[in-house]
Amino acid sequence: MHLRVGLVGGLAALLCAPWVAAQTPSTPLSEAALPAIEVTGRGDSQYDRAEDADATKTELPVHEQPQAVRVVTRQTIEDLRATRLDDVLDHVGGVSRQNGFGGLWDNIAIRGLAGHENTGMSMMLNGFSANRGFNAPRDLAGVDRIEFLKGPVAALYGSSEPGGTLNTVSKRPLWSSAHSLDLSVGSHDRKRVALDTSAPWNERMAYRLNLAAEDHGGFRNHVDTRRYVVAPAFTWKLSTDTVFDYVGEFLQHATPLDRGVVAVGNRLGVVPRSRFLGEPADGDVTVKNQTHQVIVSHDWGASWRSRLGVSYRITSLEGFSTEATALQPDQRTLTRQRRYRDYDSEDVAMQAELQGRVRLGGLEHELLLGVERYRFRLDSRMLRINPSAGSPYAIDIYDPVYGQPQPVPLPNTDTVERQRNTATYVQDMVRLTPQWRLMAGVRLDHYDQTLDNRRTGRRSTQSPQATSPRVGLSWLPTAQWALYANAGRSFRPNVANEAGEAFDPEKGQAVELGSKWESVDQRLGATAAVFDIRKRNVVTSLGGVAVAAGRVRSQGVEFDLTGRISPRWRVNASLSYTEATVTEDGTLEIGGRLLNVPRVTASLLAVYEGTLAQGQRYSLGGGVTHVGKRLGQARTQSEANAGTPAFELPAYTLAKLVAHWQPDPMLRLALDVDNLFDRTFYSSSYSRVWVTPGAPRTVTVSVRASF
């Protein structure tokens, strides 16, 4: 209770501060913006608060926009020594981990709301959807920054979650030669090498190439991971007004599908966090992703520009797995199911946009007009076999014996899903006065979906249409403060079932109030927000029949702080309180919390950078993250009425140390210690028999050579 009062009180102070600040005319932030710095991964000391977020599709500085945006810059990625998206999630307010499909994908919730089981959270790559299909965990070798857009963005991007969306921005070619090679080794037999090279070919063409290879033994028995990344980029200035950009990515990720450990009753820790309960003989499940994006932009004079982009993505997932099904009454025999998956997808998307400034009615407008179309195909084939009296295929969780005769999985699923979507959207950013900004936008989507079941011959179809509006207002009482409010709607189509039922799309609505502050030199910024989100038409079971009847609600407060507090100290901090619950459902407990969403999360990362007498640079820093208790398995109404205790994952607090030493400008040595005190924790869960344990203390040493 005291923590909740403290959160609300602190947020109220930040929200109300502008009202008592001096009412001086605000200077447009763009006039005082710091010069951009190009970084190739050398760990430069630049750590300014990000002033731009590509995914907002406006030139208006983030500080003036009426929405919460958190940008994880390249310097933050460097400070965290992050190599995957998973490494930065705990340092963004309101973000929680969800079921990661046995280590084969990224899945998160923003403001308490996660994505669909088959597509995960709303994630984008350079403004194009990057979560359709089966996508391996995001590697950060070719990533410049990560933009978290909190709240509904369906007015720009269509099908999405009302809690928020993240956009990954790829590294772009530089117009001066810069190259670096990173080598790192660490605990659990981790080895990684990465190359980042960029240079101009001539005054009109430049390239960038990022390569990475990683071999990680891991702390889980029999679970090794290998991944390879190739990320090329190319820029061609066709003329002074026209630019051609190409960004590509090839990623292969191979690891056994690992559902984690089991809870005995509601108790965790009975099974060691290192124990693998699958079958080593299954081998790896391999995920392959390939992405190609081409964007042509053209300036039509000083006020207008156009952008035409095409994205082509193919994904595949293939391999055997053995997965837990139930813990038997003896509390030691775990029955298992063997599966074979063979999935692949193709995703083609096109965006055409016109953006410019115009004066209408005596006001300055920044208009965005856009058209988007995509075509997506997902081919899914699964074989599986359940435990049976003749072939139990079980394992003793206390004394596992591997190498049993493996049952041959039988045909189970064989479907092909096709989606087509055409959308038009418009956004207007209006400077009402020097202190007021108005944002308004709307998107119209026409969606067609078919699902063919090749085993039964049945076809399911649906063609929902959606109108997604959004409106926001910002007030800048001083150059350092902004107050804002916004409201919007979202939608997300539900997958049609094999019986031919076409469910209405999930629909959400959200309201948000917030305040933003930045220092005079614009190197430190903070955002605080309160929000209320409601979503309906969530597919649930009513009397054993699937219906779109579920409703959920998420309310909370958030705080993010990032930037430099002095020339030598840089910080990242976040604090959030989220209450995400089921408000209507045919099966789940009414009032029950949503899976894997903690009420409280908090983080702090502080890094000091200095210079020795010989001119050598160094940094020392540390961080702490806290994640509160979370629901580990959804509880039904009948279980709640019977008094069955809820299964919860315990809260955890982790510490981190980082350091680097740069004996000369071309050489950098670094040390990173995660989970400093070697705490046992559990990062996410799907059920009592699918619980993902977190990694023990991990030490990584790396060296970077720049040339």
Interval 590-602: pLDDT, tens: 999 999 999 999 9
Burial class for 143, CB neighbours closer than 10 Å (0-12, 13-18, 19+): buried
Q: What's the pLDDT tens digit per position in 650-686?
A: 999 999 999 999 999 999 999 999 999 999 999 999 9
90 in helix, strand or coil?
helix
Alpha helix locations (H) across 31-182? 74-80, 154-157
Average pLDDT over residues 347-375: 96
| Structure-block tokens of residue 334 | 């775990």
221 contact partners, CB below 8 Å, separation of at least 6: 274, 275, 276
Average pLDDT taken over every residue of the chain:
88
Average pLDDT over residues 148-170: 93
Work out the pLDDT band at 493, boundaries 50, 70, 90: confident
Contact 556, 576 (CB under 8 A): yes
Q: Over 90: is that where the pLDDT of 46 sits?
A: no
Which of 32, 91, 36, 39 has the alpha carbon at shortest distance from 63? Answer: 32
Least confident of 65-69, 509-513, 640-644, 680-684: 640-644
Location of structure tokens 């992050």 = 82
**CA gap 311, 389 in Å, rounded:** 50
**Kind and range of the H or E run holding 15:** helix 2-20
Region for 283 from its dihedrals, namely left if φ exceeds 0, alpha if ψ lies in -120 to 50, beta otherwise: left
Average pLDDT over residues 356-383: 95
**CA gap 263, 274 in Å, rounded:** 14
Work out the pLDDT band at 375, boundaries 50, 70, 90: very high
pLDDT for position 496: 55
Query: Between these two residues, 559 and 361, which has the higher pLDDT value?
Result: 559
First to last CA, the chain: 55
pLDDT for position 160: 87
Strand partners, 412: none
Q: Over 60: is that where the pLDDT of 188 sits?
A: yes
Q: How many residues does the chain have?
A: 707
pLDDT above 70 covers a percentage of the chain that reads: 88
Q: What's the pLDDT tens digit per position in 199-246?
A: 999 999 999 999 999 999 989 999 999 999 999 999 999 999 999 999
Domains of the chain by residue range:
2-706
With helix as H, strand as E and coil as C, how does 182-211 read? EEEEECCCEEEEEEEEEEECCCCEEEEEEE
What b-and-e string marks burial along 683-703, b requiring 16 or more CB atoms within 10 Å of the CB? bbbbbbbbbbbbbbebbbebe
**Kind and range of the H or E run holding 640:** helix 637-641
β 123-125/164-170 pair status: parallel
Q: Over 60: is that where the pLDDT of 342 sits?
A: yes
**CA gap 173, 246 in Å, rounded:** 10
Q: Over 80: is that where the pLDDT of 37 sits?
A: no
**Kind and range of the H or E run holding 342:** strand 333-360
Q: Over 50: is that where the pLDDT of 36 sits?
A: no
In the CATH hierarchy, which fold is given to the domain comprising 2-706? Maltoporin; Chain A (2.40.170)
Query: Between these two residues, 113 and 470, which has the higher pLDDT value?
Result: 470
Work out the pLDDT band at 248, boundaries 50, 70, 90: very high
Q: Which amino acid is at 89?
A: L
pTM of the model: 0.90
**CA gap 651, 222 in Å, rounded:** 27
**CA gap 391, 387 in Å, rounded:** 6
Q: What's the pLDDT tens digit per position in 408-455?
A: 999 999 999 999 999 999 999 999 999 999 999 999 999 999 999 999
**CA gap 503, 216 in Å, rounded:** 42
